[in-house]
Amino acid sequence: MNDSPSRTPRARMPYRITAFAQDVPFHRTAGTADASWSSSRSRNHPDRYVRRADYVLRLDVISTATEKSDAVFRVGH
């Protein structure tokens, strides 16, 4: 059986996939560490941002300077 999210019925998706799907879409905001870049804030959890940590994208509450830096992305064409 193929467990890819696009082929798995919603009722059978693992919790982490359905929980993440509930947080989409994200709101694009001014960067948390640099306003000329962008950050993505969760719609359902407005205190959480997408950030990169250990080569993984995460959805976390951010408060430290390092976390704020991890939550900025340069959006380009």
Q: What is the pLDDT of residues 9-66, one digit of tens each?
A: 455 545 556 666 666 788 899 999 999 999 999 988 889 999 999 988 898 999 999 9
Q: What per-residue confidence (pLDDT) applies to 14?
A: 54
User: Is 4 a residue whose pLDDT tops 70?
Assistant: no
Instruction: Write the DSSP assignment of the chain as a string of letters.
Output: ----TTTS-GGGS-HHHHHHHHTPSEEEEE-SS-TTSEEEEESS-TTEEEEEETTEEEEEE--SHHHHHHT-B----
Q: Are strands 56-61 and 48-53 parallel, antiparallel or unpaired?
A: antiparallel
Q: Which residue has the higher pLDDT, 52 or 77?
A: 52
Q: What per-residue confidence (pLDDT) applies to 12?
A: 55
